[in-house]
Chains A and B, each alone.
Chain A
Amino acid sequence: MENNTLDIIVCIKQVPMVSELPWNSKTGTLKRELAQGMMDPASRLALEAGLRLQRAGQSQDRRIRVTALTMGPPMAEEVLHQAVSLGADHGILLTDRKMAGADTNLTSFILGRYIRMFKPDTGLVLCGAQTSDSETAQVGPQLACELDFPAIGWASDIRLTQNALVVTRLVDDFMETLEMDLPGLVTIDLGAFVPRYAGLAGVAQAFASPKIDVVDADDLELDRNFNALEDSPTRILDVFSPATQKESRVLKGAAKTVVDQLFADYGKIISSAMGKDLKKK
C-alpha cells in the first residue's frame, strides 16, 4: 500500500438470472442460452464492501480506487456498467474466445495474470465467496495463490486500519475477528451487507463517459495455443436435478412431548437455522 492510496480490485461474475431460466427437464440442465445476465449476488456484496471502504476513505482523506474486473463473453460488459453505476471508478472486461470455457483454475490464472501484468500495485482484491451459478467457492482462494496474497474467506465485514485490514467472519455460531496485512484477498459472504441500489444518474453517467477497458488474450500475452476449454484441468461431466423424496411425518401427543421429540430428531437443523443451540439455556 503506497502512502495514502489503495487500489481495490473487485472480481465480479455475470451469472444467469435463474429465476427466469427455463429448465430442460429431459437433460436436467438450465437453458443458459436463453438466460438474461445479472451480477452474481455475492460479487455484488464484494463490490458493496469495496464501495464502503471507498466512502470511508474519503472521510479519512485516503484515496481508494475501486476497479471492477470480470472475465466473460462480450455481454458481460453489462455488469461492469452496473458496477460503475453503483460507484466503481472503472471496469475491466477480460474477453476472448480462447478464455471461454475456463474452469475455476484457469479463471483464477487469467484474473491473476491480468492483475500481475496491469495492476501490480493492487492492495486488496475482493471476491464473492461463491457464485450463484456454480457455487465452488474456489476462484477467490486460487486467485490468492496466483497472486501470492494472504486470503480470508467468507467475510461478513471488513474495515481498514492504517496498515492492515480487519475482517469479521462468522464461523459456525461464532464471530471471528482477524487482521490481515495488505496486499491481500478477501471473499465476501452472502448476507454480509444490504447492497445499495444504483441511482439513475449513476446509470446515465456510466454510459455517458464509459470507463470500461477491454482486454484480450493477446494483451495478456497468453500462449498462441491457449484454449481454456481444452486446457482446463477439471470438466463438468453432468449436471442434473436429483429426485428428492419428501416424506411427511405427523408428530402426535401432548405439546411438550411433541416439542421434545422435534428437537431430539431435528434439533441440529433447527438450531443451525436459528443461529443458536436452543436446547441449551
Chain B
Amino acid sequence: MDFNPCMKHQVVRKTVREFAENEIGPHAASLDREGRFPTEIIEKMGPLNYFGLQVPPSLGGAGLDTISYAIVIEELSRVCAALGLCVSVHNSVGLYPILRFGTDEQIARFVPDMAAGKHIGAFCLTEANAGSDAGGVETTAAKTEEGYTINGTKIFVTNGGVCDVVLVFAVDAGGKEQSRPNVFIVEKTCPGFSVGEIEDLCGMRANPVSSLFFEDCRIPETNLLGKPGQGLKIGLTALDTGRIGIAAQALGIAQAAFEAALSYAKERQQFNSPLTKFQTIQNYLADMATSIESSRMLLYRAAAAKDKGGDFGAQAAMAKLSCSATARTVTDLAVQIHGGYGYSREYDVERYFREAKVTQIYEGTSEVQKMVIARHLITRPS
C-alpha cells in the first residue's frame, strides 16, 4: 500500500491547477456574483479535454483513470465549484452512461462532440414529485411509429440552461402502473424541448441549473439508451460514478476554504499576535486538515476501486458522505476564522460556505448515501 500520489497524478494536479488558477480563478467571484456561465472559459477547456476526461482517445477524450478524474474535479472546484459541477455532471452522469450503455451508433453520434466540449451534457431524473425516490418519476414516453414522444417537466437540471444533450428518465405512457423507467437521449434540437427559468440558487450560481420542459417532445427510436426497462440500472450506475465527482467537488471546496483560513489566520493579528497563536484556532485548523485528509483517502480509494472493476457503489457513497460533510464543517470553520470578514462578499470563504451545502443534497442526499451504505453492509455475505 502506497499512500503517495504517483508522478502521473501529480502532473495531472499541477496541469489542472495551473489552468484553473490562471484562467478561472480571477473570474470565479464575479461569475458567482453575476450568476454567469463562462462560455469563453468552456471554449478554452474543450480542446484541453476537460469534457472527455474518461473517454478513450480514439473518440477524442483524455482517457484518464478515475483517480485522475477525481483530481481534475477537485482542482477545478478548489477554484470555481460551479464549473467543477458542470464538468463533473457532464462527464459522469451526462456522458458516461452513453459510453457504457450506448450502442456503437449512439457512441459515434454523441460522444465525440461531447468529449470535445462542443455539446454539453445533462442528466434529468428529479421532478416535482420525484427526488430521493427515483420511483416517483411521472414524465412519460409514448412509443410511436417514428420513435418516442416524451411529456413531462424535469427540475433542478445542472447545466440545464446550456445543455445540448440530456439523459431523460421517463416511464411508459399509459402503461402499467409500475412501469420501469427508461432513459432517453434528447437533443436540444428535438421538437417539443424547451428550457425553463434558471434557478435562483444559494450557491453554484455560475451554473445554469434549470427546469426542462418536454411537451410532445419527439425523438427517434434510436435514442433509447440501453435495453427497455434498464433505466434504473443506468441511473444507479451513473450516480455511483457521479458521486465520485461530487465527492471530489466537495473536497476541492474544503481545500480552498482551508487554504484561505490558514493564510488568514497567519496574517490576522488580535491581542498582539496572529490568530495561529491561539490554541482554539490551532484546534480548528488541525480538525479541518484531518477531516480533509481522511475524506481524500476515502475518495481516492473509491476511485481506485472503480478502476479495478467490480462494485464500488458503497465506497463511492462513503466518499460522498464524508467529503460533503467535510466541506460543510471546513467552510463553516473557515468563515469562523475570518470573523466578520468571512461573512462579507469581499472574501471567498463566504462563497465556499454557500457552495458546500449542496454537495450534501444532489446526486443523493446524505441520508440516501447512508441508505446505500447500510444496504451494502446488511446484504453483503458475512
What 0/1 readout, one digit per residue, does chain A (199-218) give for beta carbons within 8 Å of chain B? 11101111110000000000
What 0/1 readout, one digit per residue, does chain B (5-22) give for beta carbons within 8 Å of chain A? 001101110111011000
Categorize the interface residue count of chain A. Answer: 10 to 19
Question: Quick check: is B166 within 8 A (CB to CB) of the other chain?
Answer: no
Selected A-B contacts with CB under 8 Å, 10 pairs:
A38-B14, A77-B7, A78-B11, A200-B12, A200-B15, A200-B16, A200-B53, A207-B7, A207-B8, A207-B11
Tell me the residues in window 43-63 of chain B with beta carbons closer than 8 Å to chain A beta carbons. Answer: 44, 47-50, 52-53, 57, 61-63
Residues in B with CB closer than 8 Å to A78 are 7, 10-11
User: Distance in Å from the Cβ of B12 to the closest Cβ of chain A?
Assistant: 6
Identify which of B7, B48, B63 contacts A81 (C-beta below 8 A): B7
Minimum CB distance partner of B63 in chain A:
A204
Minimum CB distance partner of A81 in chain B:
B11
Are A201 and B49 interface neighbours, CB within 8 A? yes
Q: State whether A201 and B14 are in contact (beta carbons under 8 Å apart), knowing that A77-B7, A78-B7 are contacts in the complex.
A: no
User: Distance in Å from the Cβ of A86 to the closest Cβ of chain B?
Assistant: 9
Starting from the known contacts A200-B64, A201-B57, A204-B62, 16 additional A-B residue pairs (CB-CB under 8 Å) come to A38-B14, A78-B7, A78-B10, A81-B7, A82-B14, A197-B18, A199-B47, A199-B62, A200-B12, A200-B49, A201-B61, A203-B62, A204-B63, A205-B63, A207-B8, A207-B11
What 0/1 readout, one digit per residue, does chain A (76-115) give for beta carbons within 8 Å of chain B? 0110011001000000000000000000000000000000
Q: State whether A85 and B11 are in contact (beta carbons under 8 Å apart), knowing that A200-B62, A200-B64, A203-B62 are contacts in the complex.
A: yes
User: Distance in Å from the Cβ of B41 to the closest Cβ of chain A?
Assistant: 12
A81→B64 CA distance, assembly (Å): 15
User: Distance in Å from the Cβ of A272 to the closest Cβ of chain B?
Assistant: 27
A198→B68 CA distance, assembly (Å): 15
Residues in A with CB closer than 8 Å to B68 are 200, 204
Are A200 and B72 interface neighbours, CB within 8 A? yes
Say whether chain B's binding surface is mostly helix, strand, loop, or mixed.
helix
Residues in B with CB closer than 8 Å to A200 are 12, 15-16, 48-50, 53, 62, 64, 68, 72
What 0/1 readout, one digit per residue, does chain B (133-145) give for beta carbons within 8 Å of chain A? 0000000000000
Residues in A with CB closer than 8 Å to B7 are 77-78, 81, 207
Minimum CB distance partner of B9 in chain A:
A207
Are A204 and B57 interface neighbours, CB within 8 A? yes
A207→B48 CA distance, assembly (Å): 16
Tell me the residues in window 162-203 of chain A with beta carbons closer than 8 Å to chain B beta carbons. Answer: 197-201, 203
Residues in B with CB closer than 8 Å to A206 are 11
Are B63 and A208 interface neighbours, CB within 8 A? yes
A245→B263 CA distance, assembly (Å): 26
What 0/1 readout, one digit per residue, does chain B (199-241) give for beta carbons within 8 Å of chain A? 0000000000000000000000000000000000000000000
Minimum CB distance partner of B12 in chain A:
A203
Minimum CB distance partner of A199 in chain B:
B48
User: Distance in Å from the Cβ of A182 to the closest Cβ of chain B?
Assistant: 32
User: Distance in Å from the Cβ of B296 to the closest Cβ of chain A?
Assistant: 17
A201→B62 CA distance, assembly (Å): 4
User: Distance in Å from the Cβ of B9 to the closest Cβ of chain A?
Assistant: 9
User: Distance in Å from the Cβ of B314 to the closest Cβ of chain A?
Assistant: 28
A192→B8 CA distance, assembly (Å): 29
Minimum CB distance partner of B64 in chain A:
A204
Residues in A with CB closer than 8 Å to B57 are 201, 204-205
Residues in A with CB closer than 8 Å to B62 are 199-201, 203-204
